[in-house]
Amino acid sequence: MTVASALAQLLQSADCSQDDQERLIEETDGFILSRDVTSSIDVPPFSNSAMDGYAVRAEDVAVGQKLPVGQIIAAGATGTPHQAGSASRIFTGAPMPLGADSVLIQEDAEAFGDYIVPTELVTAGDHVRTQGQDIEQGAAILPRGRRLRPAD
């Protein structure tokens, strides 16, 4: 048998559908993507705290200066807008309150009931995961031509 005839026989017997198919995710192992897979959402979907601490405006933080604690924001809760000149107690994963631009981690502040005293400075953006930081809505997350595996 010649190479050409062997190839022709192989191609004739192979199931090589060129049509796009929609499959359940658990049925896709080994399939090849016919187009990019894009994200329908931002990841994370909102700006949130990357650490336990205090949401603040960086410009309001001075070492040794008291900052009143105006609210407590846990993960899954939504706080009220941040008040200038104050701190908002915040926990990892909690949404950043509107008006705050950084998180003073709890290790960098002394807590005294309804106020804190920073022991370190912060820079705007410190310890904040911004909306879409990992994946922006519409971004390709798996490229066309990729052979899918369980890890995908």
Type of residue found at 69: V
Residue 16 confidence class, pLDDT cut points 50, 70, 90:
low
Res 15 pLDDT > 80: no
**What are the residue ranges of CATH 3.90.105.10 in the chain?**
26-42+133-152
What is the Cα 43 distance to its own chain's centre?
A: 4
Location of each CATH 2.170.190.11 domain in the chain: 48-129
Inter-residue contact 99 to 84 (CB < 8 Å): yes
Structure-derived torsion over alpha carbons of residues 24, 134, 106, 65, reported in degrees to the nearest 10: -150
DSSP assignment, residue 26? G
Q: In this structure, how many other beta carbons lie within 10 angstroms of the beta carbon of residue 60?
A: 20
CATH of domain 48-129: 2.170.190.11
What average pLDDT does range 116-121 have in this prediction? 98
pTM (predicted TM-score): 0.78
pLDDT at residue 86, rounded to an integer = 97
- Is 26-42+133-152 a domain of CATH 3.40.640.10? no
